[in-house]
Amino acid sequence: MQADELSRTFSALGDPTRLQILSRLAEGEATVSELAAPFPISLPAISRHLKVLESAGLIERDRDAQYRPSRLQVEPLGAASEWIETRRRTWEERLDRLDRHLQSLQRGTQSDD
Amino acid sequence: MTESTTEDLRIERVFDAPRELVFNAWLDPDQLSGWYGPEGYTVPRESVIVEPREGGRWELAMVPGEGGGEHPLRSEIVELVEPSLIVIENEEIPDHGIGVTRTRVELHDEDGKTRLVLIDGPYEQRMGEMAGMGWNGAFDKLAVIIA
């Protein structure tokens, strides 16, 4: 996944209404009016949120169906949740190298490790 | 509702070396260029700038061995207590959707060895918001779907 896609995913996730919409869609597909039901905001406002989620690839909507039910697309979410794990692996590997570096320092041998 | 601190990355590691040695490895440019870069990257010695004081710069660049653009890391030392604590504040990385983060390196003496506690973040402040929204349950389901 490209950095700009990941950035779009995070920015799409950074809104309480959109997070709730995604939580609802985790239960199964839903139409705009079903998604709007819990919110005190207008259908057009919900539609705008859905557009943001769609352009981030987080949901997909049927073009032809009358009510255009939305479905969750999990792939970008997977990438988002992997991000911290990626950072963890980077740090673990870095500390491995620090360990080797400290060992070679103490052996009195200069190392490029 | 935002509990960013709960999403900090925390790693502990014990090194068979005294604290002073570990402490210096984070501040000596010659040493940093040797060990800091991720696998497949090098950190050119001339890219490393460390001003070992609170408010000083802590900067380096990671260059991929396969070619391509370098990744500059521009940070500032915000806390420095020899030989037990280094806290640096990292400039935001807009390309990755990451705001300002802090890397906290605590060094605890354990009978001549050093326990390093690294706390890094917040990487995903929005994950904290998700937790506050009861998003975790949905996320668990997603994890099952993704797996």
Instruction: List, for residues A62-88, the tens digit of each pLDDT value.
Output: 776 556 778 877 666 665 556 667 778
Cβ separation A95–B22 shorter than 8 A = no
**pTM, to two decimals:** 0.60
In order of start, what are the domains of chain A with their CATH numbers? 3-106 (1.10.10.10)
Q: What is the ipTM of this complex?
A: 0.78
Instruction: List, for residues B1-50, the tens digit of each pLDDT value.
Output: 433 334 678 899 999 999 999 999 999 999 999 999 877 788 999 999 99
Three-class SS of residue A38?
coil
- Specify the pLDDT at position B48: 97
Q: How far apart are CA B119 and CA B106, in angstroms?
A: 8
Q: How far apart are CA B21 and CA B112, in angstroms?
A: 11
pLDDT beyond 60 at B147: no
Percent of chain B exceeding pLDDT 90 equals: 54
B13 contact residues in A (CB cutoff 8 A):
95, 99
Give mean pLDDT, residues B107-134. 73
Q: Is A86 on the interface with B (CB under 8 A)?
A: no
Q: Is B39 on the interface with A (CB under 8 A)?
A: yes
Q: What is the average pLDDT value for chain B, to the nearest integer?
A: 81
Q: How far apart are CA A108 and CA A38, in angstroms?
A: 67
CATH fold for domain B4-146: Alpha-D-Glucose-1,6-Bisphosphate; Chain A, domain 4 (3.30.530)
Helix, strand, coil percentages (3-state) for chain B, rounded to 5, are 30, 40, 30
Cβ separation B35–A100 shorter than 8 A = yes
- The residue that leads in pLDDT, A22 or A94, is A94
DSSP string, B55-98: T-EEEEEEEETT-S--EEEEEEEEEEETTTEEEEEEPPBGGGTB
Q: Is B35 on the interface with A (CB under 8 A)?
A: yes
Cβ separation A11–B97 shorter than 8 A = yes
